[in-house]
Copies of this chain bind each other. A is one copy, B any other.
Amino acid sequence: MCQRCNYAELLESCGLEPIPNRMRVLEVIGENASPLSAQDIFMTVSRTGGINRVTVYRILDLLVEKGLVDRLSSPGRSQMYGMAPNPNHPAHPHFHCRTCGAVQCLQPESVKVEMETLERTFAGEVQAVEIRLEGICRNCLKRA
């Protein structure tokens, strides 16, 4: 996904030592074009050497807490993880195929959100906006 991101720097920029497991998890997330489940990440990281499932969950919690990674809700039972918006990666909506379950990142500007009314009237503090589209993906449309 990203030739521009230096994962060690990203970790350091939020006070995390760039130790091997953190680097491995963050790289897997960063190099993939669409968000991955914890399971996906665990299996991918495992291919390059041992790591415990729990360690992956703990690293994910840490990366989300520090704001490097976004935890995205999904229509299934698991959550998904993708790079949080940063100067190289603007926030963008996601599309979930109801037929095959695939998730795609959409262009940042393909869906625009107008929140003026909300900002003027909402008494809480909005910290993030997630836009999820559901439907049938290109591939599944062809097959049908």
Spell out A's residues near B (CB within 8 Å).
71, 73-75, 77, 79, 95, 97-98, 106-107, 109-115, 117-118, 121-138, 140-141
Contact = CB atoms under 8 A, between A and B. Distances in A.
Contacts of A127: 98, 134-136
A126 B95 contact: yes
Q: Is the interface of A mostly helix, strand, loop or mixed?
A: mixed
A133 B129 contact: yes
A121 B126 contact: no
A112 B115 CA distance: 7
Contacts of A77: 77
Contacts of A132: 73, 129-132
Given A126-B134, A131-B131, 17 more contacts: A73-B74, A75-B79, A107-B121, A109-B117, A111-B113, A111-B129, A112-B117, A113-B114, A113-B131, A123-B138, A123-B141, A124-B137, A124-B140, A125-B141, A126-B135, A130-B132, A131-B132
A117 B124 contact: no
Contact of A107 (B107, B112, B117, B130): B117
Contacts of A106: 118, 122
Contacts of A133: 118, 126, 128-130
A106 to B, nearest CB: 7
